[in-house]
Structure 1
């Protein structure tokens, strides 16, 4: 056997090893830059694009399952001024109007903030005993129950995510929710009169 014949198997072995090294390097290079599942990722349309963030689950946010981000849509509602005539003077609230079943059911669920002089006015078709709950509601709120004549018949403080119910002491046709403590800080009491938006009163 000649020397050249003995070297051929060695060349084949070295060539195979070299190809294996090159193939391994190529596979490793293709894996770089991938985003792990669950992480935030940059947009694909170039520099300056907004990050694509994942939805925060209820378990991760320490909230009930039904309130995980994105599950309770908040379409814009009409805003109207509500004026309360208290012993300390006029108290004005910029109120969102919830006047149908889906809007009343959703209420202020999932909201993380409410402006200082903002609230939500719930409008019902007739005067009745009203009863509110705080399911999926993150904000501490105060509620004023208002009868068909515009008089406040009850004021209650409601705790976030509470399973308690908050019934009206007297029949009411409207309910005004604001940040907790809003009424007491401004001297608003049971018996005070409320000027409701004309669009609400006239139906």
Structure 2
């Protein structure tokens, strides 16, 4: 068993405690922005293009030749779903942030390889099948550069505000 596997329960407890403390906080939100709060309390703001229909989600960032820093595509599902992505016809490497219904980043797949048709799952290998409400795709390496990892919390008006870890104002 790895140290990471052993540390997960402690990390989860810490994140839940931080989320509970932040529950009284509300964040200014906009449909075209992904407002993230990191576990240390710092914030990151990503300009997003929302895709929320089956056709727009299927196309995603295919055939795009570039993606500006701090810009991305926010995939929104009608209900929490088990999701996996692939990179067919995607020309640039991407980081994928898999987000649960409360807005918590539950998994990050970093630097997905262009044109790779291997499914990129929304969870660590061996974890139970998770349900994700949103997935944010940003340029490869952006998640690490911005400090966006598991435990970061998204505030967005399309999250169910009654269960959002950090609801909108």
Fold shared by both chains (TM-score > 0.5) = yes
Structure 1, residues 19-55: CA drift from partner, whole Å, max 9, x if none? xxxxxxxxxxxxxxxxxxxxxxxxxxxxxxxxxxxxx
User: Larger Cα Rg: Structure 1 or Structure 2?
Assistant: 1
Q: Normalized against structure 1, the TM-score is what?
A: 0.58
CA distance in 2, matches of 1:175, 1:94: 14
Report how many residues are paired.
123
Q: Per-residue deviation at 1:88?
A: 6.5
Q: Normalized against structure 2, the TM-score is what?
A: 0.69
Structure 2 stretches lacking a partner, 5+ long: 1-30, 124-129, 161-169
Q: Per-residue deviation at 1:171?
A: 1.7
- Give the number of the structure with larger relative contact order, counting CA–CA contacts within 8 Å between residues 6 or more apart: 2
Q: Per-residue deviation at 1:163?
A: 1.8
User: 2:20 corresponds to which residue?
Assistant: none
**Cα distance change, pair 188–88 in 1 and its aligned pair in 2 (3 A):** farther
Matches within 5 A, 1:96-115: 96-115=49-68
CA RMSD of aligned residues (A): 1.6
Question: More helix per residue: 1 or 2?
Answer: 1
Matches within 5 A, 1:1-203: 80-86=32-38, 87=40, 89-157=42-110, 158-169=112-123, 170-196=130-156, 198=157, 200-201=158-159
